[in-house]
Chain A
């Protein structure tokens, strides 16, 4: 309700007005009680019996004027503009802070309707809804409008208005306020963006994460948390947003009760601010074995709704590793290299056989390299600069006879090391080391290797064992080359290569094979054709595919089995 404040037609001077009023009172008021009330200052207005109009006494006028001034100043404080519109919704006044560039100024809006102004966030439908509201003479609050200011920047306004009626209840127009809320909107947008980034970051993490409020209710859950299917033993992980996590912990079922109580107590301490971090590790028996989880509750400072971040991780692997510190060594040592053990963490057999501590020291001096078919690591007589532990490449050791003739005497794959002379105290190579299968290896500088070798009994033991195997391979190959036919030797060679590269397909030319076997090219061609006829292998343009592994093994000379048994046996 708005007092329709009517100023009597009197001069502005207070003294003059008071004098005029005394006369008026004398004329209009006759009753003693009325006069007494007027004298004691308890009356606001006198009614003119001629017109029925109420005439405010000077004190009341002053008070109302002050009231209005106070209202205005409050409006000014809480808004940037006050405006009035006539019954056709045209602006008739707009006063307030003129922000030169705001675009919301007196001269631009007087006489216009709200929808005549260049606001760009309202559709025709929006304006229609707004107009129907006005038609119903309804008040509207915080209508958000967007426009561009003179400088081209985006401005947001919040406009509120309510209808005004005259004494007879006739609609006169609207009156209201407007605020420039650009800064607020920009801050809101920035906040939304940062919240978006935060929740996207949470979603990207593998751990199950959620945020609790002071009552323990989940107010934000990351994707991994939401996706976590309720599992036996995992107290309450995956409860949806809006559910109280502490209540779930409190009511944990049989077998989980102790963990539930401990977790709830810890989280409550974090919420109460008694501790910053609560970490709880627990295990539960699953069909796949005992699994371990770590739950962390981190307190959030401040008075915001979000109080605790809960992070839940599966730590089974780490826990097992901690519990069985010595297991790596016997497992790796016992595992035969052929067939490929499923869980050899280190590709090279010699390195894999090292105890963890010595391996970690060795690794510091190793660098991974990629070796390509045809690379020559050493020539006979060269001093050895690097030793190599092949991971999945293959290196042939060739003895050169005269200048052009060569013969393979040994083959090193992931089971061994290239550069054995160094382990025996010799720094030059007697053979040519030729990369025959492209792949990765770890290499170490010769000097460092000699140092490590002297310090590590395990490495010494392993390399002496391997040297013995290599010598056995040399002697067996020497005998084989002398006594066995090319076809059987080719089958042996292909089988050995297959074992070392762990693949049924490799790229080799006949010329290369001739070198390996120490025969003429035509000899290789004939032998290969024979194997192909028996459907043991397929080859075209240097690509060899083993079709029948067992058949090829059977077609090999006995040397293959002897060498293989030696290697397999040595690993046990």
Chain B
């Protein structure tokens, strides 16, 4: 019972605002480094603390990318909230990222 209640809570609107992101990169390759920097800047500006970011290095975890259906790096995937979406490249196109995050409207 308890667990169920907890689950109910988890689906409350407050918690839903946390965006979970996963960024696939390949080591210190230039586009990967740039993608991390770009993404962190965007998140800091628009999401404040309301996000979780996991960075996956395909050299260190070669099977993760394959399992997640990622074909190239760098590649950003939005895990939650639904719908899942992804952006490919070094994330220098801020508009694309914001569109995916669904914050374009209020960002101005």
Q: State the A residues within 8 Å of B (CB).
A: 1, 3-6, 28-29, 31, 33-34, 37-38, 40-47, 49, 52-54, 56, 59-60, 63-64, 67, 167
Contacts and interface: CB of A to CB of B under 8 A. Distances in A.
Interface in B53-82: 57-60, 62-63, 65-66, 70-74
Contact of B59 (A6, A41, A42): A6
Given A42-B31, A60-B30, A64-B29, A47 B89 contact: no
Contacts of B88: 33-34, 37, 42-43
A4 B71 contact: no
A-B pairs with lowest CB-CB distance, top 7:
A3-B27, A42-B89, A44-B29, A60-B29, A52-B66, A45-B26, A37-B89
B89 A60 contact: no
A43 B72 contact: yes
Given A52-B65, A54-B65, A28 B71 contact: yes
A60 B71 contact: no
A480 B30 CA distance: 124
Contacts of A56: 26, 29
11 contacts: A5-B59, A41-B31, A42-B88, A43-B31, A44-B32, A45-B58, A47-B58, A54-B73, A60-B26, A63-B29, A63-B30
Contacts of A64: 27-29
Contacts of A33: 88
Contacts of A3: 26-29, 57, 59
B59 A4 contact: yes
A49 B71 contact: yes
Contacts of B63: 52
B25 interface: yes
Among A5, A33, A42, A53: residue with most chain B CB under 10 A? A42
Contacts, number: 92
Contacts of A49: 66, 71
A41 B71 CA distance: 15
B29, B31, B90 — which one has the most chain A CB atoms within 10 A of its CB?
A: B29
B92 interface: yes
B71 to A, nearest CB: 6
A44 B32 CA distance: 7
A45 B90 CA distance: 12
Given A43-B72, A45-B26, A63-B30, 15 more contacts: A3-B26, A3-B28, A4-B27, A6-B59, A29-B71, A44-B29, A44-B32, A46-B71, A46-B72, A47-B58, A47-B66, A54-B73, A56-B26, A63-B29, A64-B29
A43 B59 contact: no
Contacts of B72: 29, 34, 37-38, 43-47
Given A29-B72, A33-B88, A54-B73, A44 B26 contact: yes
A167 B26 contact: no
A40 B71 contact: no
A59 B25 CA distance: 15
Nearest to A50: B66
Contacts of B29: 3, 44-45, 56, 60, 63-64
Nearest to A25: B72
A37 B30 CA distance: 14
A280 B28 CA distance: 66
B107 to A, nearest CB: 22
Interface in B11-65: 25-32, 57-60, 62-63, 65
Contacts of A6: 59
Contacts of B70: 47
A46 B62 CA distance: 11
